[in-house]
Amino acid sequence: MFNYTVDTSKTVSEAVEALEENLKAEKFGVLWNFDLTAKLQEKGEDFDTPYTILEVCNPQEANRVLSENLMIGYFLPCKIVVYKESDSVKIGMPKPTALIGMVEDQNIKSIAEDIEQRLIKCIDQSA
């Protein structure tokens, strides 16, 4: 699977708030909190599913991977999504290892594995 996704009993807002706190503990900052639902509605689209996209970054890790391979910037910043589907709220992300696997660079792969585990921890703690 290219993604890691969990269910939570929290609302979208509560899950986003928990994520922001847990990400801080791992030194990931939220660069952008994008309310996709509001933006689509603003553009006249009939979309009412609560859907938030967080773009997150750890500056030290970004520096590490970009110093190894500038093409890794194609995958930055990391995205975590929180959305409502049916009666549950989901928190998920594309796995950094799945994205980095396309570059076929073993040095970067080990960094991606570490980042992925840290982001999974943040997601699990937020659920």
pLDDT digits (tens, 9 = 90+) for 24-71: 999 999 999 999 999 999 999 999 999 999 999 999 999 999 999 999
pTM of the model: 0.93
> Which residue has tokens 């009993």?
9
What pLDDT is stored for residue 116 in this prediction?
96
Domains and CATH numbers, the chain: 3-126 (3.30.310.70)
